[in-house]
Structure 1
Amino acid sequence: MAKTIIISNRLPVQLQISNGGITAVPSVGGLATGMKSVHSGGDSLWIGWSGLTDEEIPEELISKIDSALAEHGSSKVNLTEKEVDGFYYGFSNRTIWPLFHYFLEYSEFELESWEIYKAVNQKFADAILEKADNEDTIWIHDYQLMLVPQMVRAERPDISIGFFLHIPFPSYEIFRTLPWRKEVLLGLLGSDLIGFHTYDYERHFLSSVRRLLGLEVSFNDIYLDERVIKVDSFPMGIDYKKFSEAAKEHSQRSEEQKSELQKRLDTHKKSAPDAKFFLSIDRLDYTKGIAKRLKAFEYFLNKYPHYKEKVRLIILAVPSRSNVPQYQLLKREIDELVGRINGELSTVSWTPIWYFYRSMPFENLIDLYTSSDIAWLTPIRDGMNLVAKEYIATRTDKTGVLILSEMAGSANEMNESLLINPNNFEQIADSLNEAINMPKEEQIARNTVLQKRLERYNVEKWANDFMNSLINQKQKDQTYQTKRLSIDLMNTVMTDYKKAKRRLVFLDYDGTLAGFHNDPQKASPDEELYRLLDEISSQENTDMYLISGRDKETFTEWFLPKKYNMIVEHGVWISQGGEEFRMLENVKKDWMEKILPVLESFVDRTPGSFIEEKNYSLAWHYRKTDPDFGQKRSVELNTVLTSLIANDDLSVLNGNKVMEIKSSNVNKGRASMRVYSEHDYDFVFAIGDDWTDEFMFQELPKESVTIKVGRQKTQAKYFVDNTKNVRSILKRFAEKR
């Protein structure tokens, strides 16, 4: 039976060793909660580090630990202290974490940490390979394991792999500073599906893939070798029901049932009924902007002094990575800020800031959520921020105001909150003032919308959406495989090829017979290609045509005096049997004087682009430009040209990193049919890679064998992945086997 294997840095259980025994306690973290529906439903296994290093585990407890974890559907990856230090505290949290959160100044690029990161990722991959069968589904989580997908893919090419990144993916300009940027991208591209919290992170990733790896990206599909990787956004939700019901139960408690914290909160509420509680809950991390928030609070009280003794900021800072130097410095800075602000502003009956540096049980979190009038969550950069969603879920009477940083991933879903720039103290102060004075009717209206959205797209739906998308991606790939020119299909083609009385073969050049090159003139034929074309063209009753958008001068240089048949410039010129080129279509070129200055202006404004002037067409190439910029300029140029040629008999062809303007009555379909009509062919074959070849696929008889190079939408019957596959076909034609 197929199973789901979940992989994360930490297992969803905590191990406790005492009195020679071992206890496994389920975790209550966001990921553990989020994956509950996937992990508990059906056959599943969770692989991760136990939280205990090899040095901390007595040898006699190893089997007991394995048994305890197995009861929770888990299996551990063993790590030494050195591996944890280099992999987790080193590369993961001193390189990737600050870099991906735009804190470049904190990023450390140490080769030793990178090597340990690679080695530990391989350990995780090996653990997966040991447990996984080919029909299983693998879901890998987060930045600690970004190399694992490709490591697994290398050994199990057909297994289904999903990856979800729970932190931001930075812009290309930030990501490119990572020395091992290509290795990380290729590691992630071992997945079938890559998920992010927001579209911004998704587009940053796609931009880096285009610009650093030069891979083809179509919408949110990435084409790599013989695979298509889908990239999409899945905003993580919360267990809405858990928080909502806990808040309802909390509101019904008697005085005796209340926690000590709740009693303390109630006391202060009663002493100042009109006072407002501001709530701030974060892990202690420089990305959360706690220090800035404290300074902004001081700024607010100075700008609006009449709120002194009428507001109180409750800060819960949960300890995190306390052995990392930046976190130690941050802790000291926050301690000093709280001490100074309280020291300067406190009165006998009022302390402006309540500061808690500790973890709190779930019950106390509900105390804080339900007692606070305003949740003030302003991270400098945050992948999602689930605290914002938890606060809204606990507002059973729908009152309360959420002030949220626009830099948090959750801001995209929570436009009804007051969104602020965490660096703009003036805006923050005014937003706090607005929140204090917001009418209850408006609070209820805003929170009603938020609650409906959060209840609908909860954490279970997030997990199910990702899994369904992963399944669909695999099914989509299987659908593609039905059109792939398999060995069996190729054998059938060869049977028809060999028994045919007269054959007609059309071969596109760029992207089909030869790969693309930044300089088109350097994509010249190699000796193997010459040999294959010689053998095919010399076969009895075989008419082979090279059919291309290239100019006749280039093909004359490359292929004459070979006895090949050639059609160039999409059907303007034809050469048969090695003769000089002659015109196949009578076309005009006076329009070129009008179009050329337009193309020149785009060359001036698009570094790396250039113009190719053919006899009867003009081509604007942008293969050497920045991929994103080139694509943007091509859309702009297409708009300009469409308007410019509206009254002319011209068309614009959008090829692979090239736009060509030519006469409308010239195309490969028209040219190929003119050749086809000259003889009685019982085998017709055509292969090409871009949409200029679609005219040929569409016009040729239905019984023709038409093949697309690449996986784009096509009229062709079959597809192959790349030029290497094309060479394999040519070899079989040449050898008639």
Structure 2
Amino acid sequence: MSSQQTYDFVIAANRLPVDRHVHPDGSTEWRTAPGGLVTAMDSVMRGWESGAAWVGWAGFPGEAPEPFDDGKLRLHPVPLSGKELSDYYEGFSNDTLWPLYHDVIVAPTFHRSWFTCYRTINQRFADAVCEVAAEGAQVWIHDYQLQLVPAMVRDQRPDLRIGWFNHIPFPPVELFAQLPWRATVLRGLLGADFLGFQRPDDARNFARSCRAVLGATTKGDKVEWAGADDGRLGAAPRTVRAAAVPISIDASGFRELADSPEVQARAEEIRESLGDPDVVLLGVDRLDYTKGIRHRLRAIGELFEDGEISPDQVTFVQVATPSRERVEAYRTLREQIEGMVGRINGDVSHLGATAVHYLHQSYGREEMAALFQVADVMLVTPLRDGMNLVAKEYVTARHDGGGALVLSEFTGAAEEMPQAYRCNPHDIAGLKETILQAIRDEPAEKERRMRGLRRRVRKHDVQTWAQDFLAGLAAAPEKPGRGGSKETS
């Protein structure tokens, strides 16, 4: 154990909650990073009187900065070289696990060297967690990039209470079984005391995989594994709880932002810049093949071509935040989407009336809150999504009672938001009908739906999510001090 200061609460995630900004004079500044996890965890982390630590990559390759403080929060950077970034993050995390966990929408790539690097980086994260965690501390590990960390931490520090939360779907065993390193990943996850998932189906998929791959037994939300006398990762017997704890947003904070005079004024400017159409349709996504942007554009294009909607009255705004542009599948996707936008506008737009506005860039929270208030219909139509917080942000921003949410049944949010206009994005004809219904329904019907959606998000906000997860961690079946294991190999 290092002599450095240790903490009773430790977060481990792929990224730190801050981004480094370099000014023209060469000076640097750390700013709070955008993103749902940072917003979600902020109040939780800062609520620890004794302070808390966050372990993560600083966002640039090379040597990591020395640990530093952000208020009462200790930030502990983990280094990644350019090659490690390519193999661990762009490779195994995002070209192997990401497509596999999202219904194999594109084929995953399996490289042994990528997994070797993934394991090396997971061990580096685990070592950093063990360095900053106080005796008996609570450790909360996040997401698919760090699935081996729970067992790696357990091997070194059986005194810790360890939780892990998956922000993306967990696939059915029939898909998960394709992974050559499936047993190692499951053994890594079983190092936790409590595993949180977005949907009940995800928790059940994990339990089924443990039964099929490891021969574990399950009862209710508990997974029991007898262990293995092989000296490999996570060899000790374990009893783990796996349950759904759906994530949410800072509803009160986002509503306050949306209600600010500056955001209200910006919303008016945006609508005017679009030509003040009768109906604004909006999509906001990372540029990712799981988000269903191509299916959405196809449906919108056909509605314009069929004459069901006209660019004189209706315009569609698609914000596509740049994402993983060094991965080939994402470069191809961008080319396809930009081609579709060009064809639609070339076929149906005319001077003064643009059918589709395509914005391939990132926007701050204020701009997004303004866009949400402009949107008469929000299109959230992923092919598969763990949760999708955009849907929750939209209904929160529309505190005026207006708007309509079209929501894919393949999002985690669909299980929590039954009043949305549900759709199957693979069914283009059905998607077109759902969009038209959301446009044409009576205002009273739309207001009724939105009222129920806002009530749900307000009641189940990010603070409720964090409290529910930590309560599940505290009530986990294993007691700290059990489950130390043999040497990792």
Using the size of structure 2 for normalisation, the TM-score is: 0.91
Distance 1:477 1:167 in 2: 25
Q: Which residue of 1 aligns with 2:37?
A: 31
Distance 2:437 2:22 in 1: 51
Residue 343 and residue 169 in structure 1: after superposition, are their counterparts in 2 closer, same or farther (change >3 A)?
Answer: same
Q: Where in structure 1 are there 5+ consecutive unaligned residues?
A: 482-720, 722-737
Counterpart code for 1:22: T
Distance 1:21 1:371 in 2: 38
Within-5 A mapping of 1:117-156: 117-156=118-157
Q: Which residue of 1 aligns with 2:320?
A: 317
Q: Aligned to 1:369, which of 369, 372, 376? A: 372
Q: Aligned to 1:54, which of 45, 57, 62? A: 62
Residue 292 and residue 250 in structure 1: after superposition, are their counterparts in 2 closer, same or farther (change >3 A)?
Answer: farther
Within-5 A mapping of 1:72-471: 72-103=73-104, 105-225=106-226, 226-250=237-261, 253=264, 258-259=265-266, 262-268=268-274, 270=276, 272=277, 275-305=278-308, 307-471=310-474
Larger displacement relative to structure 2 (446-455 or 140-149)? 446-455
Residue 103 and residue 252 in structure 1: after superposition, are their counterparts in 2 closer, same or farther (change >3 A)?
Answer: closer
Within-5 A mapping of 1:514-525: none
Distance 1:376 1:67 in 2: 41
Q: Secondary structure at the match of 1:54?
A: coil
Q: Which residue of 2 aligns with 1:505?
A: none
Q: Secondary structure at the match of 1:109?
A: coil
Q: Secondary structure at the match of 1:106?
A: coil
Counterpart code for 1:265: R
Overall identity of the aligned pairs, in %: 37
Residue 437 and residue 8 in structure 1: after superposition, are their counterparts in 2 closer, same or farther (change >3 A)?
Answer: same
Deviations 1:449-472 (A, max 9, x none): 111110011011101110111012
Deviation at 1:267, TM superposition (A): 4.9
Residue 326 and residue 479 in structure 1: after superposition, are their counterparts in 2 closer, same or farther (change >3 A)?
Answer: closer
Q: CA RMSD in A?
A: 2.1
Q: Does 1:11 align with 2:16?
A: yes
Distance 1:172 1:249 in 2: 47
Query: Does the CA-based 8 Å contact 2:45-2:73 persist in structure 1?
Result: no
Counterpart code for 1:49: W
Deviation at 1:310, TM superposition (A): 1.8
Residue 424 and residue 283 in structure 1: after superposition, are their counterparts in 2 closer, same or farther (change >3 A)?
Answer: same
Deviations 1:503-537 (A, max 9, x none): xxxxxxxxxxxxxxxxxxxxxxxxxxxxxxxxxxx
Distance 2:131 2:258 in 1: 44
Residue 158 and residue 392 in structure 1: after superposition, are their counterparts in 2 closer, same or farther (change >3 A)?
Answer: same
Q: Where in structure 2 are there 5+ consecutive unaligned residues?
A: 1-5, 227-236, 484-489
Query: Does the CA-based 8 Å contact 2:68-2:75 persist in structure 1?
Result: no
Q: Which residue of 2 aligns with 1:650?
A: none
Deviation at 1:306, TM superposition (A): 5.1
Within-5 A mapping of 1:321-720: 321-473=324-476, 476-478=477-479
Q: Secondary structure at the match of 1:136?
A: strand
Using the size of structure 1 for normalisation, the TM-score is: 0.61
Deviation at 1:104, TM superposition (A): 5.9
Distance 1:151 1:321 in 2: 28
Distance 2:255 2:8 in 1: 32
Deviation at 1:158, TM superposition (A): 3.0
Distance 2:263 2:365 in 1: 17
Distance 1:419 1:290 in 2: 16
Residue 306 and residue 35 in structure 1: after superposition, are their counterparts in 2 closer, same or farther (change >3 A)?
Answer: closer
Query: Does the CA-based 8 Å contact 2:68-2:74 persist in structure 1?
Result: no
Query: Does the CA-based 8 Å contact 2:68-2:76 persist in structure 1?
Result: no
Distance 2:262 2:448 in 1: 21
Deviation at 1:262, TM superposition (A): 4.2
Total equivalences in the alignment? 465
Distance 1:30 1:151 in 2: 26
Distance 1:104 1:440 in 2: 37
Counterpart code for 1:200: D
Deviation at 1:363, TM superposition (A): 1.8
Structure 1 runs (4+) deviating above 6 angstroms are none
Counterpart code for 2:287: L
Query: Does the CA-based 8 Å contact 2:263-2:366 persist in structure 1?
Result: no
Computing the radius of gyration over CA atoms, which structure comes out larger, 1 or 2? 1
